[in-house]
Structure 1
Amino acid sequence: MSFYHFAKTLVAVLLFPAYRIQVIGKENIPKEGGVLLCSNHISNLDPPVVGITCPRPISFMAKAELFNSPLFGKILKKVHAFPVKRGMSDREALRMGLKSLKDGHVLGLFPEGTRSKTGELGKGLAGAGFFAMRTDAKVVPCAIIGDYKFWGRIKVIYGKPIDFEEMREKKVSAEEATDHIMSAIKSLLDTYKQGSNA
């Protein structure tokens, strides 16, 4: 068993019962090929929660500061994360993200770039649109709903891949592509928020 799968199993044993995680739409994640997985961001626990609910390994772009700790930085690298400087304008991180997608892996992003303090969906940064437009990866929106109270309930919803074919043909801007992704995430949030505290 790889370190990634060992860590995923360990974290799943802890988090699934603690937050009674419900997963919806897992079948919407393509079984192979490059996938750009874009989610809203409400907690530091979002990356592990998405990681344990996604059926495929994910390479997350994580803020560079997290890699400053020798031990934690080493663990992050072992679970396929790589650093990005704030604002997602880090050329090396963009290059690594493109390579990950072109090699047929799943790249996980939180397009807002930082956690939402209000729980409301913020504006997405252009990095998500950049990856969507520069590769043939399938773009899958994800919505995380809940407040991470112990023994509360968290919903993780994976939407159907967004059709980017027309937008790629028109060569729309990265910003416009990101807005399209954020609209898909908002649609999932609006659809599934009702009854999320039940």
Structure 2
Amino acid sequence: MAELNPVSPRKRNRRNLPWILFQWILQVIFAFWLRYQSRGKEHLPAEVGGLMVSNHQSFLDPLLIGLPLNRPVSFMARDSLFRIPILGPFLRYEFVIPISRRAASSTSFRAAIQNIENGNFVGIFPEGTRTEDGEVQRFKPGFLALLKRTDCAIYPIGIAGAFHALPRGAYFLRPRPVRVIFGEPIPSTLVRDYCERGAEKELLELTRQRVSECQQQAEEWVLPEHIR
């Protein structure tokens, strides 16, 4: 398991210098090549932590979500990525949390919980893998274990266009428009109520529904760009 590096409360409201430079470069590239736009950032709190839940269209998704934000997001990513030269050290430096696909690690969950309780965002893709057709797939329930052990809101996110810009099996970024919607949160009080009633399946479906609604809004937003 790769070494974990939680975001401290002191660092939660600012990016480090390498990310700021990388973010600026990506903003220029994505604005030109992907006509990237996002909306709904006002739904994200300035100080409080939470769990970001998004559909998964491509390897670009963590960058697309983090691009317009000033706060770091600790995404959970498969541990094999940390063994890739250059990428692995960068992921550690950017507070990415490694997790094994074969067996959920209590260490990874503790790191995620610590990040949320420190007032940070943790990002996950509950589909488990990238979509094969651009649609939102069935959600895996593993992230519900986090919600049972910490008091936080869920922030649904919908991505559209990334599936066409970098589909499965593609090696080059295609010039396709991309949109990201940050939806209204599922408040922590409602999340806690579902968990206390043992209604995890209902919470899972509610979360998927909210993400699907955001993704549909993003699709409708990006559609005029596709037909130009």
Q: Tell me if TM exceeds 0.5.
A: yes
Match of 2:209 among 183, 186, 194: 183
Report the alpha carbon displacement of residue 28 of structure 1 after superposing the two structures with TM. 0.9
1:197/1:64 CA distance change after superposition, 3 Å: same
- Which residue pairs with 2:100 in the alignment? 85
1:69/1:27 CA distance change after superposition, 3 Å: same
Report the alpha carbon displacement of residue 88 of structure 1 after superposing the two structures with TM. 7.0
Contact 1:61 1:109 in 2 (8 A): yes
1:63/1:193 CA distance change after superposition, 3 Å: same
The alignment partner of 1:143 has SS state of strand
Matched, 1:197 2:212: no
Q: Could you give the per-residue CA deviations for residues 73-111 of structure 1, whole angstroms, max 9, x where no partner exists?
A: 101111111211116722211111111101111111111
Q: Could you give the per-residue CA deviations for residues 14-70 of structure 1, whole angstroms, max 9, x where no partner exists?
A: 222210011111111111111211110010111111111234211111111101124
Report the alpha carbon displacement of residue 181 of structure 1 after superposing the two structures with TM. 1.1
Q: Taking every aligned residue pair, what percent have the same amino acid on both sides?
A: 28
The alignment partner of 1:43 has SS state of coil
Number of corresponding residues: 198
What amino acid maps onto 2:193 in structure 1? E
Instruction: Please list every run of 5 or more consecutive structure 1 residues that lacks an aligned counterpart in the other structure.
Output: none
Contact 2:57 2:134 in 1 (8 A): yes
Matched, 1:150 2:150: no
Contact 2:82 2:88 in 1 (8 A): yes
What amino acid maps onto 2:174 in structure 1? F
The RMSD of aligned alpha carbons is 2.0
Match of 1:38 among 41, 53, 57: 53
Question: Structure 2 CA distance, aligned partners of 1:49 and 1:192?
Answer: 13
Matched, 1:106 2:115: no
Question: Structure 1 CA distance, aligned partners of 2:182 and 2:122?
Answer: 14
Question: Structure 2 CA distance, aligned partners of 1:97 and 1:14?
Answer: 30
Q: Could you give the per-residue CA deviations for residues 167-194 of structure 1, whole angstroms, max 9, x where no partner exists?
A: 4135235444332211110122233422
- Which residue pairs with 2:75 in the alignment? 60
Matched, 1:163 2:187: yes
Contact 1:129 1:175 in 2 (8 A): no
Question: Structure 2 CA distance, aligned partners of 1:184 and 1:129?
Answer: 15
- Which residue pairs with 2:21 in the alignment? 6
What amino acid maps onto 1:185 in structure 2? V
What amino acid maps onto 2:56 in structure 1? H
Question: Structure 2 CA distance, aligned partners of 1:168 and 1:98?
Answer: 15
Instruction: Please list every run of 5 or more consecutive structure 2 residues that lacks an aligned counterpart in the other structure.
Output: 1-15, 166-172
Q: Which moved more, 1:73-82 or 1:174-183?
A: 174-183
Whichever of the two has the greater Rg, that structure is 2
- Which residue pairs with 2:31 in the alignment? 16
1:134/1:18 CA distance change after superposition, 3 Å: same
